[in-house]
Amino acid sequence: MTGTVLDRILTDPRVTQRSTRPRDPNGRCVVYWMQRAQRGRDNPALDLAIDLGNELKLPVVVHLGHVPFFPHATARAYAFLFQGVADVAADVERRGCAFAYRPYPNHRIDAFAREVGSALVIGDENPLRETEQWRKTAAERLPMALFTVDADVVVPTSTFDHEEYAARTIRPKIHRVWHEYLVPSEEKKARVRFESSRIPRSEPCDADELLARFRVDRSASPTEHYRGGTKAGTAMLTDFVTKRLAHYHERRNHPEDARGSSLLSPWLHFGHLGPRAIALAAMAADAPDDAKNAFLEELIVRRELAINFVKFNRDYDRYECGHAWALKSLEEALKDTRPVLYSEAQLEQAKTHDPLWNAAQLQMVRTGHMHNYVRMYWAKKILEWTKHPRDAFDIAVRLNDRYELDGRDPNGYTGVAWAIVGKHDRPWAPARPIFGMIRYMSLASTGRKFDSKAYIARWTSGLL
């Protein structure tokens, strides 16, 4: 390959060369295979596809193809996902690219690339095992070059060559380089357009019709509390940086207070917003430095620690992902008598003796969101109320993935791993019954940190 952009991507830490096949010199366009970064704004993968198209004097087409068989995804997740398609189409077309929505069963990227005569394919990255396998399969099947872009982090994941032990080990490495990547996207436009007769076909993208047509798990119904899409996500971001960010450092561990959360995780999870744009908006906001720093710690350091964990630990959604000290301590505590045992069905229905736990579960079931502070407590109590920590881990993952809009995500798996098997934490001595050396949380201790009575009243009123 020749040319400035083509040469540069081979050394760009955000770009991975997925196959050794060359660019098709007779290709008629550049294809961007959109998966994780489902947005037309602040998207480094789309930016690269446009740069390449302009250099090669070829039009660019964005291919998006949803499938109904993503593990643990429910109608709640699919509704939010589908709500974002119209925004993607509008933003992609605004940038001079064609948009081809091809949901299942017409989702295959290799078939689409052959159909449109792609010179090469640009994709985005996702460290989860299922999506990573999709990229490997695509690299084998595509007859032309495939590159993927790490579009949903600030600091490229390739910066790290192993699983980091904790936030304290990854933080200085991120801080050392993040200024290099916290630069606004230029939002370039494609200079070459498809001839009208050659514009790739796009299928209808009405969210309600798609949800009715897709055969998906409907155990968690769509939520009316949050709507998917870049427009809705941008509105939430604007509300956060103008009204809530200023109090973030003081209220982030107060689930009863609306100022205690950004509420941006669903749009980040589905790629409707990018972390770079969120970070830049927070940095430019009229808010105290302490608030900005606390938020950037969560958005970049903690979130990218979670992505690092999923990338390098093949057991990220299993009990075995824990540190050796944690697993040893939990196994030694198996002899301890549990005060009460609940079935997964009882937990799912919020039928426990603990009003705070029930409130957290009900918030998640009703809205698709649970505040991070109570989510830690929620997972630790599942550990306390099950026979084996392996069972607790599996139940927590299933419930989180089923009901949370940001489930099936590195942050969720890391949160469960932190709470139950001490991932990214340290041993806490002396050992406690059941928990061993895993950090303990109690109903009394949480009540001293925030107004738990107000939180409980809000989410259990009229429901228990």
pLDDT tens per residue, range 92-137: 999 999 999 999 999 999 999 999 999 999 999 999 999 999 999 9
At the top level of CATH, the class of 4-152 is alpha beta
Whole-number Å distance between alpha carbons of 388 and 177: 42
Mean pLDDT of 310-314: 98
Taking the chain, what is the end-to-end CA distance rounded to the nearest angstrom?
Answer: 65
Mean pLDDT of 213-231: 96
Residue 91: name the closest of 41, 154, 164, 165 by CA.
Answer: 41
The answer to whether the beta carbons of residues 136 and 28 sit under 8 Å apart is no
What local confidence, expressed as pLDDT, does residue 6 receive? 82
Longest CA–CA span in the chain (Å) reads 73
Mean pLDDT of 143-156: 97
Mean pLDDT of 406-430: 97
The answer to whether the beta carbons of residues 101 and 85 sit under 8 Å apart is yes
Question: Do 4-152 and 158-186+228-312 come out as alike in CATH topology?
Answer: no
Peptide bond into 288 cis (omega under 30): no
The answer to whether the beta carbons of residues 359 and 456 sit under 8 Å apart is yes
Whether the pLDDT of residue 41 is over 80: the answer is yes
Percent residues over pLDDT 90 in the chain: 91
Provide the CATH topology of domain 158-186+228-312.
Answer: 1.25.40
Whole-number Å distance between alpha carbons of 74 and 365: 12
- Residue 432 DSSP SS3: strand
Mean pLDDT of 291-302: 97
Structure confidence by residue, pLDDT tens digits, 336-350:
999 999 999 999 999
Structure confidence by residue, pLDDT tens digits, 51-93:
999 999 999 999 999 999 998 999 999 999 999 999 999 999 9
Whether the pLDDT of residue 335 is over 60: the answer is yes
| Amino acid letter, 67 | V
- Residue 366 DSSP SS3: helix
Mean pLDDT of 16-22: 94
pLDDT band at residue 3 using 50, 70 and 90 as cut-offs: low
What local confidence, expressed as pLDDT, does residue 1 receive? 46
Which carries the bigger pLDDT value, residue 329 or residue 462? 329
Query: Considering the chain, what is the average pLDDT of its residues?
Result: 95
| pTM given for the model | 0.95
For the chain, what are the domain ranges?
Answer: 4-152, 158-186+228-312, 319-460
What local confidence, expressed as pLDDT, does residue 38 receive? 98
State whether CATH 1.10.579.10 applies to domain 319-460: yes
DSSP-assigned states of every residue in 166-204? SHHHHHHHHHHHHHHH---------S----GGGPPP---
Contacts of 46 (CB under 8 A, 6+ apart): 32, 34, 37, 40, 62, 92, 95, 97, 151
What local confidence, expressed as pLDDT, does residue 127 receive? 96
To the nearest 10°, report the CA torsion of 206, 207, 209, 212.
170
Strand pairing category for 145-149 and 118-124: parallel
